[in-house]
Chains A and B, each alone.
Chain A
Amino acid sequence: MDAVTATTNSVTSVDDALVLRARTGDAAAFGVLVDSRIDRCYRLAWSILSNDADAADATQDALLSAWRQLPRLRDPAVFDSWLNRIVANAALMARRHRVRLREVSVRPTGPAAESPQPVPRQDLQARTQMDEFVDNDAIARAFDRLRPQDRMILVLHHVEERPVAEIARSLGIPVGTAKWRLHAARRALEKAMEAEA
């Protein structure tokens, strides 16, 4: 067993223990689980809702729902995919509730938006900061045009770096289907970028 695997297993076992404790009603253990996952849950909800307040509400609903149902989760190892699924469902429900009313979410223009945090890369020489900003903006605008299910799977894979098997379980679909959807979502993103250009 190499070092990376050992570390991963160690983290997993700690999380498993927390899930087991939370399952018995230990709110402090649940708090620790929330600490390490709330940002991811919020991003996932935001990717579907594109709105800060709605994403916060959906995140809250989902995590409280998870807390209530936790005693019924028998296998702690699937906690993350199970939680992702709850978050996705809560966000989709919230989106359904909004029906199709046209809403434009205005995000404050802060220093971060004006000068995006550089992401360490090996090919910085080939890209200027302006290129990066333009690229990111194009991706962001295209991303906003995608269907929620496409956004969701892109975020789980590209931002949260979840394995395909976990994504499949999160979305309740076979691994093969998850791969297809990931592929289709990426193509949809490319098409949306072409449309935005």
Chain B
Amino acid sequence: MNGRSLTEARISEGLRAHLPQRAPAGLRELIVDAAETTTQQRALRSFLGALTEADPVARRRSLLIAAALLLAVAVASAAAVGAWRLLQRESIDELSLEPPDDVPAFVLSSYERLLQLPPVALAWHDSGSAKGRIYVDRSGAVRFDRFTSADATEASSYTILRGNRISGMALVDSQAVWVEPGHEAVDDNARGYIRTVLNAGGNAADAPGCEMERDPSAVGDVSAATGWRYIGVEYVAGRPTHHVACAGKLSVDTDLWLDIETRLILRMREPLADDAGQPIPGQFGTIEVTEITFGELPAALFEAPQGVAHMTPEAYSAYLCTRDTRIEEEVGLGVRDCSTPTEAEATPPPEPSPTPMPTALPNTSACAVAPRDASAPLGPLAWTPQSLKKDWPAPVRSEPAGGASVRPMPPMYRDPTGDNGSKAYPCVDIRWAMADTSAVHLKLVSKPPPWSCPESRTCLGADPTEQWIAYGVVTDEDRDGVPDWRYGIDNMPADAAEKGPPRRGWRTNLHTGQTEAGPEHGDPVWFNGGGFRSGLPPESADWEPDAIFEFGGAIDTTQGSQKWGFELDVPFYAWASVIVDGRVVATDYAPDSGWLVATPGVAIKPNQFPGGAYQVQIEYADLGSEPVTGFIAQEEMRPPIRVSMIVPHGWIVGGPWGESDGNAHLEFNVVGHPWDGCPDTTEPELGPSFDDLVTYLAELPRIDISQSTDVTVDGYRGKYLRYKPVDKWFDCFSASPIHADPGDNEAWIVDVDGVRVVIAVVSGEPVSATVMSEARQIVESIHFEH
């Protein structure tokens, strides 16, 4: 900065010079022309219209008023009609048997409504011999019962998903045991998994126009589900359904019967295909709900049964690895770790429930460049720079005769570490893989070493002349257990003479050996008629992937959302290798045996935290007693408070927040004096001490505190508060000392050596019991560094 300080004027000047001055020519006309042909969404008349208010602040205020009115109406109704009916059933819209005005929207709502499914018990069977039961409780926990035969009356085993926790009862050598697998489901709304059982959309869901949900990352996607046709009203399990159909990949209709009230799939029929993938005329597979009962369920259904032995996840995993157990009979989502087989415990002793432990995060040290690990085995490939154009590294994993198991995975699969054949190259030791039907993300034990290449400031990874590092995915397109395609990226310039991105992308047909690289080397890599793109993020935190492979998705264009690539709905495994002096010195596969397959409808969430230690830093200043009107001077800043905590798997860290009102999160703040008080409140006045804050909140007429309990957080005294905002609270929203959403709120205020730290659970919507429980666990794990 030429020795000059950074003033506000200079920031403005620099940014104005950097940012585009004008929007592209023609964009305005494009937008206005489109507006003229686009129908506006009209608000509902009267008071209800306020609930659809577009401005979120106004909507929250309206929701608060609506909640109060609805409560009054509900109480009156309960007195007149009987409160028990309200407890038995969710309030529902008035049912109409008229055809839906918007069939695609109706079909898409089947997924959206599923996530709010009220307590229910249902039984289903398919056109084969499989049958099952599903229970959903009010918190959203789901229990999936399995039966050994169509005639069986008692479930042989079951899996319970509560938030992203998995537990259940399994049979081990014909003995019932209670297990809580070490892996976890990623989607914290377990109701979403019901579709994987009822097989929403079957094969058709893969076909354009036959989707059952919008791609959440595709802004403005209007093509989803437009292929569904309306057939008529039919009754299934005694309930009215809308029957819809869509011609999927086989050009034969898949039919769905969607419950009009809940949108639950009550029946699905899809065409059967032969080994060549061609439809068998007149033959269909069906799944049908035969019984369905709404209402509260006994809590015992979702708890460990009395008198049943507990089995550790490790022992259960080891048992599965010794068996050819069908994945449907397993507790969990079919993820097995068979890399270090151990003896199964035939009669496992009862054990207490495992206590979640923080994940030890490894150092992010890079792979050593030298010296070489002399004990590391040499791989089968030999490479020389001269063979750059024809060598595409990575050995293919040997496969057992007769194929291998395929494990439906939640987005995350945890791979054992220290299994890449060399401790010297942890940058190819895979820690975890996440996948959905469009992408695979890999996390490594350590990042590749940085490579300084002044030609490009974004240059990454190791210098290929010292270490040749490659990552990739192998797929089994025809599901026969034999690998078909190998996709890879490496740190090699596409052309040694070029100074382009130090990266190649390619795919190899493992049957013919033919390799094709993208028409433009580098990143992303595109192939004609399909393709993939991949990348090594320039900076990745401990919870972010180190390598990404995208196989399909949607691109927003001025003509709407355009799909590209293909869905990764086939078995795959991930690999990573490092080559030194022309030889493969370390390789890791995830998994080491068997295949993974992504679960349709379960998507990778950006910034999803794998679980473990996390730290936030609260910055604050000593602002005196005058309200702050502009920038805070540097001399007013105080040393930040660092807050370390253990965050469970499945939480998102790092933000950005505020994208969705339903995005519950923990907010950390320091309450100063006095400008952090309500600006329009003269009484009470917020004083400077912790006790002043407690008194202030207790006397503040804008919140109603139902519980105020003395607590300690990391040894510091504090208060745990449960409270609700009352009317006009939001007049104070702009600078409130404590967050308040409509409904119940929870917060902790902690006196950290005289600094008032507020930790609040923030969400624009009611927080589920599971999320709230995890939030409390996070707070209990807090450690302050001050």
- B43, closest chain A residue (CB): A72
How many B residues, CB 8 Å from partner? 86
> Is the Cβ of A136 less than 8 Å from the Cβ of B18?
yes
- A117, closest chain B residue (CB): B17
CA distance A34 to B27 in the complex (A): 10
- Measured between beta carbons, the chain B residues less than 8 angstroms from A155 are 15, 19
Q: A135-B14, A172-B56 are in contact. Are A38 and B1 (CB under 8 A)?
A: no
User: CB-defined interface of B271-295 with A at 8 Å, one 1/0 digit per residue?
Assistant: 0000000000000000000000000
- Measured between beta carbons, the chain A residues less than 8 angstroms from B540 are 100
Q: A39-B22, A42-B27, A57-B556 are in contact. Are A186 and B54 (CB under 8 A)?
A: no
Q: How would you classify the secondary structure of chain A's contact residues: helix, strand, loop or mixed?
A: helix
CA distance A165 to B218 in the complex (A): 31
CA distance A165 to B8 in the complex (A): 18
- B30, closest chain A residue (CB): A60
B284 nearest CB across to chain A (Å): 36
> Is the Cβ of A154 less than 8 Å from the Cβ of B658?
no
> Is the Cβ of B15 less than 8 Å from the Cβ of A139?
yes
Q: Could you say which of B4, B533, B659 has the most chain A C-beta atoms within 10 Å of its C-beta?
A: B659
- Measured between beta carbons, the chain A residues less than 8 angstroms from B92 are none
> Is the Cβ of B31 less than 8 Å from the Cβ of A60?
yes
> Is the Cβ of B40 less than 8 Å from the Cβ of A68?
yes
- Measured between beta carbons, the chain B residues less than 8 angstroms from A184 are 619
Pick the interface stretch among B94-102, B163-171, B476-484, B545-553: B545-553
- Measured between beta carbons, the chain A residues less than 8 angstroms from B17 are 116-117, 119, 136, 139-140
- Measured between beta carbons, the chain B residues less than 8 angstroms from A27 are 32, 35-36
> Is the Cβ of A182 less than 8 Å from the Cβ of B631?
yes
CA distance A193 to B4 in the complex (A): 12
- B24, closest chain A residue (CB): A56
> Is the Cβ of B548 less than 8 Å from the Cβ of A56?
no
- Measured between beta carbons, the chain B residues less than 8 angstroms from A183 are 619, 631-632
> Is the Cβ of A138 less than 8 Å from the Cβ of B11?
no
> Is the Cβ of B35 less than 8 Å from the Cβ of A140?
no
> Is the Cβ of B31 less than 8 Å from the Cβ of A139?
no
B307 within 8 A of A: no
> Is the Cβ of A104 less than 8 Å from the Cβ of B15?
no
> Is the Cβ of B11 less than 8 Å from the Cβ of A102?
no
- A131, closest chain B residue (CB): B2
B223 nearest CB across to chain A (Å): 15
From B9, B14, B655, A140 is in contact (CB under 8 Å) with B14
> Is the Cβ of A75 less than 8 Å from the Cβ of B55?
yes
B220 within 8 A of A: yes
A118 nearest CB across to chain B (Å): 10
- Measured between beta carbons, the chain B residues less than 8 angstroms from A147 are 656
CA distance A56 to B658 in the complex (A): 23
User: CB-defined interface of A128-157 with B at 8 Å, one 1/0 digit per residue?
Assistant: 000110111011100100011100001100
CA distance A159 to B12 in the complex (A): 6
A92 nearest CB across to chain B (Å): 6
How many A residues, CB 8 Å from partner? 89
From A55, A67, A94, A154, B40 is in contact (CB under 8 Å) with A67
B433 nearest CB across to chain A (Å): 15
User: CB-defined interface of B244-286 with A at 8 Å, one 1/0 digit per residue?
Assistant: 0000000000000000000000000000000000000000000
> Is the Cβ of A158 less than 8 Å from the Cβ of B734?
no
B52 within 8 A of A: yes
- Measured between beta carbons, the chain B residues less than 8 angstroms from A78 are 55, 57-58
CA distance A39 to B31 in the complex (A): 13
CA distance A186 to B219 in the complex (A): 30
B20 within 8 A of A: yes
A15 within 8 A of B: no
- B34, closest chain A residue (CB): A64
> Is the Cβ of B14 less than 8 Å from the Cβ of A82?
no
> Is the Cβ of B628 less than 8 Å from the Cβ of A136?
no
Q: Could you say which of A30, A46, A102, A182 has the most chain B C-beta atoms within 10 Å of its C-beta?
A: A102
A168 nearest CB across to chain B (Å): 7
> Is the Cβ of B628 less than 8 Å from the Cβ of A179?
yes
> Is the Cβ of B458 less than 8 Å from the Cβ of A104?
yes
Chain B residues 415 to 463 lying within 8 A of chain A, measured CB to CB, are 439, 456, 458, 460
> Is the Cβ of A186 less than 8 Å from the Cβ of B40?
no
> Is the Cβ of B38 less than 8 Å from the Cβ of A68?
yes
Given A56-B24, A69-B40, A169-B57; 12 other pairs, CB 8 A cutoff: A72-B41, A73-B53, A74-B49, A74-B50, A97-B218, A101-B523, A102-B536, A140-B15, A140-B17, A143-B14, A143-B15, A184-B619
3 nearest A-B residue pairs (beta carbon): A139-B14, A140-B18, A42-B23
A-B contact pairs, 8 of them (CB 8 A): A38-B23, A63-B31, A89-B659, A97-B554, A100-B544, A119-B16, A143-B14, A174-B735
Residues on A facing B (Cβ under 8 Å) = 25, 27, 30-31, 34-35, 38-39, 41-43, 46-47, 52, 55-61, 63-65, 67-75, 78, 82, 85, 89-90, 92-94, 96-97, 99-104, 116-117, 119, 121, 131-132, 134-136, 138-140, 143, 147-149, 154-155, 158-159, 165, 168-169, 171-177, 179-180, 182-184, 186, 189-190, 193, 197
